[in-house]
Amino acid sequence: MKLWGLVFLSTAILSLFTVSTHAAEALHRIQWTKSEVESLRGLWIGSIAKTPADKTNGVADNARAARFGHRLFFDTRLSSDGQVACATCHLPALAFTDGRKLARGVGTSGRNTMTIIGAAYSPWLFWDGRKDSLWSQALGPMESVVEHGGDRVQYAHLVSKDAQYRAEYESLFGPLPDLSNAIRFPSSAGPVDDDLRRAAWENMAPRDRTSISTIFANLGKAIAAYERLLAPSSSQFDHYVKAILTKDAVLAKSIMSRDEEAGLRLFIGPGRCIQCHNSPLMTNNSFHNIGLADPEHPPPDKGRLIGVKQVLRDEFNCRSRHSDDQSASCRELDFIKISDPHFDRGFKTPTLRNVSKTAPYMHDGRFSTLGTALRHYNKAPRQPVGQTELTPLDFNKKELSQLEKFLRTLSSAPDVEPFWLEPPEN
Ligand code: HEC
Ligand code: HEC
């Protein structure tokens, strides 16, 4: 008996000792200064604000509109060849990107597909910010000759002829106009990059053009209501920060490895990443030139330099007749920064949430892996045109791999019922 007691006691002491060394190691590993803890809190999902209201979209937070938008998002009839939907390029399984260098719809786009998760937080949409709302953004790909390839009159006919769409549309936006007169409303017309359809559009009466454009804008508003649901949820990184904020060092250690944690230190410290990738979405929603101009492969993509002009004259911007809040001041447009030395070849800082799923990287998809993207930051080559904002990091191989491991902790599916991430059932 005595012997057993002794054995029991010593095992207990031993395990107590192991627990306390674990705790000691955890405490040793997780020492963040006060200001570092504040940086972590700033990036934490727990600090995210409510989805910003969009008064220009009267159905932004309407559940029926989101259901209608969900259908539209997956509907390949919204294209010139019946093959392309938003979901062709924005695949839920790839954090709403497509895994391609350059997006492919009915043709090939000049840019890489962006994620939609968290896009409702962004004041400017697209890599160059040429749209100022989610709903006006959605109209772009629908009339792009390399993406959906269709046009607004075609889409209006689709909604008018499909009984379910008609009912859903009318319950949200009121009665559809009668589009049955084929002379007034040809089967295909719109201000698209196609001579025939553009001429047909210009031949239409201004009033008829306005009623078609209103239907078109409303489709964008329903799609935006759906996209607004796609907010990010807690990732491995967020669980870690929560443990740090509640001072649970042992839990924190069980959530992130030593390397992931070291990578996080580089991210908020010597890597200077949070200069641009800050806030819970890890973007400052601003435009920067990070030295990616490629004079070998024209035509040059001037990014924000052009985007700023396009958004100001966009027919669907916040100041347009299609906004649902005519009294709203358009703060973003009113205070838009027109020029900045970094706008030439400057692009929007993308969110880094889900970055392990959104390869290839950058506006032109030039880096096929995270590792190669990070090597760019490490070298920060001189920019042949424009002006880069980066300076070399000179991290060693191990540090680069730690940074990459940290970036891989940022994945999490949107915080919605799973059916929103699949094509609608009916
Ligand atoms: C052919 C592929 C393709 C299709 C189809 C497509 N997109 Fe995109 N999407 C892209 C590309 C490429 C970009 C970036 C384009 C750019 O910057 O010029 C983008 C950008 C976006 C953005 C901007 C995200 C941000 O943070 O700025 C949103 C939102 C979006 N798409 C939603 C949609 C919706 C809604 C549809 C359907 C109406 C759609 N897309 C159809 C490829 C596509
Ligand atoms: C000066 C602002 C700035 C800083 C600092 C910065 N970034 Fe970026 N980041 C950007 C911009 C802008 C882009 C998009 C550039 C483009 O496509 O032309 C980008 C793109 C990326 C991408 C590609 C994401 C995608 O979806 O394509 C990754 C990964 C990334 N940054 C990680 C980092 C890391 C890690 C650091 C710190 C070592 C960092 N960034 C520092 C502004 C910055």
Segment 219-247 shows an average pLDDT of 97
User: Has residue 270 got a pLDDT over 80?
Assistant: yes
- Residue 129 CA: nearest ligand 1 atom is 27
Bin 131: left if φ > 0, else alpha if -120 < ψ < 50, else beta. Answer: beta
Other Cβ atoms within 10 Å of 341 Cβ, number: 10
Bin 285: left if φ > 0, else alpha if -120 < ψ < 50, else beta. Answer: left
CA nearest ligand 1 atom 5, residue: 86
* Residues listed for the chain: 426
Handedness of CA 342, 42, 125, 232 (dihedral sign): positive
Structure confidence at residue 385 (pLDDT): 75
Least distant ligand from the CA of 221: 1
Structure confidence at residue 22 (pLDDT): 56
Distance (Å, whole) CA 100 – CA 112: 7
Distance (Å, whole) CA 173 – CA 59: 9
169 touches ligand 2 (CB under 6 Å): no
CA nearest ligand 1 atom 32, residue: 138
Q: Which of 113, 277, 286 for a ligand 1 pocket mutation test, highest count of atoms within 8 Å of Cβ?
A: 113
Give the amino acid at 31.
Answer: Q
- Residue 393 CA: nearest ligand 2 atom is 38
- CA of residue 141 to ligand 1 center, whole Å: 6
Task: Report the candidate in 129, 134, 109, 141 with the shortest Cα–Cα distance to residue 346.
Answer: 129
Contact 407, 370 (CB under 8 A): yes
Segment 369-393 shows an average pLDDT of 91
CA nearest ligand 2 atom 25, residue: 361
- CA of residue 377 to ligand 2 center, whole Å: 8
- CA of residue 188 to ligand 1 center, whole Å: 23
CA nearest ligand 2 atom 11, residue: 349
405 touches ligand 1 (CB under 6 Å): no
CA nearest ligand 2 atom 12, residue: 349
Least distant ligand from the CA of 73: 1
pLDDT digits (tens, 9 = 90+) for 37-93: 999 999 999 999 999 999 999 999 999 999 999 999 999 999 999 999 999 999 999
Segment 84-107 shows an average pLDDT of 97
Segment 218-247 shows an average pLDDT of 97
Structure confidence at residue 294 (pLDDT): 74
Distance (Å, whole) CA 59 – CA 51: 14
- Going by pLDDT thresholds of 50, 70 and 90, the confidence category of residue 7 is very low
User: Has residue 20 got a pLDDT over 80?
Assistant: no
391 Cβ neighbours under 8 A, 6+ residues apart: 380
116 touches ligand 1 (CB under 6 Å): yes
pLDDT digits (tens, 9 = 90+) for 388-423: 899 999 999 999 999 999 999 999 999 899 999 999
- Going by pLDDT thresholds of 50, 70 and 90, the confidence category of residue 16 is very low
Q: Is 192 exposed, middle or buried (0-12, 13-18, 19+ CB in 10 A)?
A: buried
Structure confidence at residue 288 (pLDDT): 95
- Residue 350 CA: nearest ligand 1 atom is 26
Structure confidence at residue 13 (pLDDT): 47
- Going by pLDDT thresholds of 50, 70 and 90, the confidence category of residue 283 is very high
Question: Which of 27-31, 241-245, 366-370 has the weakest average pLDDT?
Answer: 27-31
What the block records as the tokens of 337 is 């920064």
What the block records as the tokens of 79 is 């294209």
- CA of residue 104 to ligand 1 center, whole Å: 11
Q: Which of 101, 115, 273, 345 for a ligand 2 pocket mutation test, highest count of atoms within 8 Å of Cβ?
A: 273
Segment 296-323 shows an average pLDDT of 92
User: Has residue 274 got a pLDDT over 90?
Assistant: yes
350 touches ligand 2 (CB under 6 Å): yes
Task: Report the candidate in 148, 216, 144 with the shortest Cα–Cα distance to residue 179.
Answer: 216
What the block records as the tokens of 228 is 């607004």
273 touches ligand 2 (CB under 6 Å): yes
117 Cβ neighbours under 8 A, 6+ residues apart: 95, 96, 230, 231, 232, 351, 353, 354, 414
Distance (Å, whole) CA 323 – CA 108: 31
pLDDT digits (tens, 9 = 90+) for 148-202: 999 999 999 999 999 999 999 999 999 999 999 999 999 999 999 999 999 999 9
277 touches ligand 2 (CB under 6 Å): yes
- Going by pLDDT thresholds of 50, 70 and 90, the confidence category of residue 297 is confident
- CA of residue 347 to ligand 2 center, whole Å: 10
Mean pLDDT computed over every residue of the chain = 92
- List C-alpha distances in Å: 376 to 110, 253, 265, 383, 420: 21, 30, 19, 12, 36
- CA of residue 88 to ligand 1 center, whole Å: 10
